[in-house]
Amino acid sequence: MSNRIALSLLGLCVAVYLLGIFCVPLMDIDATQYASMSREMLLSGNFLELYDLGKDYIDKPPMLFWLSSLSLGIFGVHDWAYRLPSFLFSLLALYSTYRLALLFYRKEVALLSITILATCQAMFLINHDVRTDTMLMGWVACSIWQLAEWYQFQKWKNLSLAAVAIAGGMMTKGPLALMIPIFAFGPHFLLRHNFKEFFRWEYLILLIIIAVLLVPMSYGLYQQFDLHPGKVVVGKTIDSGLKFYYWTQSFGRITGDNPQRENGSILFQLQNMVWSFLPWIIFFLLGLFSAIKQIIEKRFLLTNKEEAITVAGFLVTYLALGSSKVQLPHYIFVIFPLAAIITARFFDQLFNDLSWNRWRKTLTLSHAIVFALMWIALILLMVVPFKSIPVFVPVFAGLGLVGYLWLASRKNLPMPKLLLLCFFTTIGLNIFLNTAFYPTLLKFQTGNIAAKFIEDNNLEKEKVRVYGKVVEARNSLFFYADHIFPRTDTVATLKAGDYVLVSAEQYSQLSGVKHAILFTGKGFPVTKLSLKFLTPSKREKELSPFHIVKILP
């Protein structure tokens, strides 16, 4: 792969990321919650303690909220401003992946690594559905790259930057950011028989820098929780914020100290990679198997020119995540830079080793068929679920299918056909998802609908109340209305002139007060997408009606 082709592909990917950043509204639950918390932090000026709608919050460290609130302060309260810091960290993850691969492989492999990571489905998703994982991926990829540079060239600059990246990762999502480099380099040194690397005095400097950088966050936890033991946060009693953060929330999920239970199967993350690492998942699995096979054939002994950082970093981290009693699909994204390098290594074998000829033809044909079906599915997605999508959109999607079939039939191409079909499909599909499907889908998000009515009709925000538990509203209401509306569970607290957001299910409870319905909407929890919702004839039963009413004298 040439520099020109790689830069062109990266430019297209960045353009698609930006389409998602500027065209797709934030999704409930996590993205809108974190955006709302960042806005709340900015308004309060309290950057050491975390609050969600005025209540104590402890589940995530503060880095995402620090940087996002800074961005909101500079650019204003916009969803794209909340996403901007994470977008920059996705670029850091890409660059770090390239530089890490370049330390051990040919430039063509390094270029392929960065383009594979840039075009996997997870990268398109986490640049608009921003949680902590985008930022964590950047920190972790950077720390592994800088440590690899330090081990090779012994420059203090690299060790210092690695420490900063590890500390940044820990302040983004916890001790996992420290453990992943250990998971990656520990087996790497064992397989190289470089036992002296386990005992270096420079590690003390590394740990000191990390510890110093963690002081502000640790002080905030101590001040918010350790000085006030017994606080209850979302049903959890917190006696020590420091213990919860440094142990319970991460290692406690493995030891059982954390009582949460969700998706505890060792195969859960692999099942999610089937979609999140598209279109590269089959090539990655083959590459991982091939890399492990080579290590076994070499009797677990590598030369000083070979690396096990990527394979060990992925496998050990996967096993650690898989042993957790609490897992969510996006947890695995942090090690996708390592998966990208493993995949690029496999493609290098596939295209340059004659023994892989039969596999190359089989993989090209099978993926060509699957990608054609994906283009057909995209056209149906643009036509069937939402009649509001303009007619020209599925027409362009059809042209995309025609272009795909033309490429599939060509022989003289600027890169191997298998790669070109992968790049064309994943970039092409996500252009339509980010400009047509997601924006239309998010029109059904209750909080967005209600916030738009409040803004468009200039309702006095100080008089708006949320009655009961409008589950679908989530934090999207508070972020897009740029205001935190108080909740109430009793009619007695309502007074003339108040505006009340209430679900149709609880609307009857307002019968005792005089009121007028100003607006009726129908929402849907979009992250729980279902086939029934996507079927127009069945959608109505899936929607949750709500009202905005005005209390009359």
**Of 256, 260, 150, nearest to 200 (Cα)?**
150
Query: 355: exposed, middle or buried (C-beta count within 10 Å: 0-12, 13-18, 19+)?
Result: exposed
Provide CB contacts within 8 A for 141, sequence distance 6+.
92, 93, 96, 97, 100, 337
Residues recorded for the chain: 553
Sequence letter at residue 365: L
- Using alpha carbons, list the distances in angstroms from residue 275 to 426, 448, 485: 11, 27, 37
Pairing of strands 487-488, 236-238: unpaired
**Of 194, 350, 329, 352, nearest to 269 (Cα)?**
329
Q: At what angle do helices 309-322 and 281-297 cross, to 10 degrees?
A: 110
Residue 7: how many other CB atoms lie within 10 Å = 12
Q: In the numeric block, which tokens belong to residue 292?
A: 């492990």
pLDDT for the residue 328: 81
R_g of the chain, CA atoms, integer Å: 25
User: Helix, strand, or coil here: 507?
Assistant: helix
**Of 535, 548, 541, nearest to 385 (Cα)?**
535
* DSSP H helical ranges for 76-175: 79-104, 107-119, 121-126, 133-153, 156-173
User: Helix, strand, or coil here: 326?
Assistant: strand
pLDDT for the residue 264: 62
Sequence letter at residue 7: L
Beta bridge partners of 460: none
Angle CA 439–440–445, to nearest 5: 85
Exposed e or buried b per residue across 103-125, where buried means at least 16 C-beta atoms within 10 angstroms of its C-beta: ebbeebbbbbbbbbbbbbbbbbb
Q: In the numeric block, which tokens belong to residue 9?
A: 């592909």
Mind listing the pLDDT tens digit of every residue in the chain (553 residues)? 788 999 999 999 999 999 999 999 999 888 999 999 999 999 999 999 999 988 999 889 999 999 999 999 999 999 999 999 999 999 999 999 999 999 999 999 999 999 999 999 999 999 999 999 999 999 999 999 999 999 999 999 999 999 999 999 999 998 999 999 999 999 999 999 999 999 999 999 999 999 999 999 999 999 999 888 888 887 788 888 898 888 877 765 555 555 565 666 788 889 999 999 999 999 999 999 999 999 999 988 988 888 999 999 999 999 988 887 777 888 899 999 999 999 999 999 999 888 888 888 899 999 999 999 999 999 999 999 999 999 999 999 999 999 999 999 998 888 999 999 999 999 999 999 999 999 999 999 999 999 999 999 999 999 999 998 765 556 899 999 999 999 888 888 899 999 999 998 888 888 888 899 999 999 998 888 899 999 999 999 999 999 999 999 8
